[in-house]
Structure 1
């Protein structure tokens, strides 16, 4: 469903940005492979490996995790401090909030609406016979996919790219941040801080509110 017209658009990454967790690591804990997946996630966020290749290899470690485990994973997800305040402030000023994630719809479909997010996009985990197969359904949301989502949502809401804000922490957020009118590094890796328009130090999304148009 197209977004209503808006004054501006704010698009956030999910893991370690909108929420404090890296969801793939929480799911990996269910397979007792959390430490291996955490190390691979860190390398991908630093930009040391191709994101799509890394994601496929990490998701392969999730094979056999029962779908019933998602309730336990969701119970461990923690919104980042200030997330709801930022969303409310954007709405109060006539803006819209999108979230685009290299994570998973299986979690974001619950978390995003609970925080008042208007539109979101993420990867989908393949499943069969009540358990994960270790694969990803459809095209992977990578750096290009994130930038494309920002542009698409801005067009649907009638917002010029100059009136968009992109907030992220990892290397796969850089193209989205470069496409936006303002790229904000939040809780970010050094390479992301170096290339962002502005760096927010405290891990509190309400610190972004003064940047809103």
Structure 2
């Protein structure tokens, strides 16, 4: 018959701590049912669930054997009867990631939201520490009825504090992410290329108004593309090439993509913009996949038409699935990052969906949100710690 106890040990870290405690238990033939230990900045914590029922010794015998170990290593030892809690198979675990500029009160604020919503914190791990911090918090949301509403609370917290957050399903058996797909305009590059082309063509005001409507979901994207492109008729290839030289990457883009490639990820762009510019970015950034609309160019000038089918929101979602098939992975192994309504199906089809400085309509399709104009923090949503 099981007779379970919890042993907790806290003290300064040094070699031999785990062995000294567990050797005593082994000599008494006390079985370890569960264990977790961690060293944090030179300090050590360990929790053991042990079964006294496998041994002939009493609780007093165990205490008499283990207390000298605590004295020898200056460990704070505590032993108490095990109380049955919610088993992990019955929990709905989610992983909450937070990142941003460090300041007092961050953990208190976040844990307060969890407490107010009857959410138990299972584990907290710091993955970046400096002027900017990042931490992962595993939580049990079994008592939460509406995850979307909870995510909305954290998005409001994010906008209020400037801290970026994500909340997604935690699955210890989940296959690793393999591909990261970005939108282009206002995501990996600053601004909208079509608006800059319109300025060159002298139709900036009209095109920018349609762009804003399309990105907010207030205008059919295909109609918006056709109308805007028609206003670009007559632009020369030389003018397009000049514009490529003035493209400004979003801060953090190059370092992030370099890190992703180093970690073995494939990286791509699915854009409702134009291949003339995404092909340039493919070469500059070493992208593995690029999909975009093709401007029709005849005799060195833009005709005002698109060649082939337009890449709209639905097509973006389809292309993401095609990439999964090409890579022989599931779509859950793909991360998608975008900013506007045209990205909603791409994000909806991905295993991890991140909205970057997003339009309001995109938030409901996302697992997390980056509010700063810097993409480097995406690495923490992927669990990639600082060097």
Q: Shared topology, TM-score over 0.5?
A: yes
User: Which one of 328, 343, 348 corresponds to residue 158 of structure 1?
Assistant: 328
Of 301, 304, 308, 1:138 maps to: 308
User: What does residue 354 of structure 2 align with?
Assistant: 184
Query: Is residue 173 of structure 1 aligned with residue 347 of structure 2?
Result: no
Q: Does 1:71 align with 2:244?
A: no
- 42, 48, 73: which is aligned to 2:212? 42
What is the CA RMSD across the aligned residues, in angstroms?
A: 1.3
Question: Equivalent residue for 2:380?
Answer: 210
Assess if the C-alpha contact under 8 Å between 1:45 and 1:172 holds in 2.
yes
CA distance in 2, matches of 1:51, 1:81: 27
Structure 1 stretches of at least 4 aligned residues deviating more than 3 Å after TM superposition: none
TM-score by length of 2: 0.52
CA deviation after TM superposition for structure 1 residue 7, in Å:
5.5
CA deviations on 1:30-85 (whole Å, 9 max, x unpaired) are 21111211110010000001101110000000011111101221122101111112
Identify the structure with bigger relative contact order (alpha carbons < 8 Å, sequence gap 6+).
Answer: 1
SS of the equivalent of 2:287 reads coil
Contact 2:354-2:368 within 8 A present in 1 as well? yes
Alignment partners' CA distance in 2, 1:130 and 1:120: 23
Q: TM-score, normalised by structure 1?
A: 0.94
Cα distance in 1 between the residues matched to 2:204 and 2:313: 24
Q: 1:205 to 1:33 in 2, by over 3 A?
A: same
Tell me the distance in 1 between the aligned counterparts of 2:331 and 2:236.
41
Cα distance in structure 2, aligned partners of 1:37 and 1:184: 27
* Contiguous gaps of at least 5 residues in structure 2: 1-175
CA deviation map 1:18-41 (0-9, x unaligned): 100201111111211112111100
- Gapped regions of structure 1 (runs ≥ 5): 1-5
Map 1:75-86 onto structure 2 (within 5 A): 75-86=245-256
Q: How many Å separate the matches in 2 of 1:74 and 1:42? A: 22
Please state whether the residue corresponding to 2:309 is helix, strand or coil: coil
Q: Tell me which residue corresponds to 1:3.
A: none
Q: Contact 2:177/2:335 (CA < 8 Å) preserved in 1?
A: no
Matched, 1:89 2:240: no
Give, in whole Å, the separation in 1 of the partners of 2:247 and 2:205: 18
The SS at the match of 2:305 is strand
C-alpha displacement of 1:134: 0.5
Which is helix-richer, 1 or 2?
Answer: 1
- The answer to whether the 8 A contact 2:177-2:334 is kept is no
Instruction: Provide the C-alpha distance between the structure 1 equivalents of 2:219 and 2:232, rounded to a whole number of angstroms.
Output: 20
Determine which structure has more spread, i.e. the larger CA radius of gyration: 2
Q: What SS does the corresponding residue of 1:27 show, helix, strand or coil?
A: helix
Q: By percentage of residues, which structure has more strand?
A: 2
Question: The residue matched to 1:76 in structure 2 has which SS?
Answer: coil
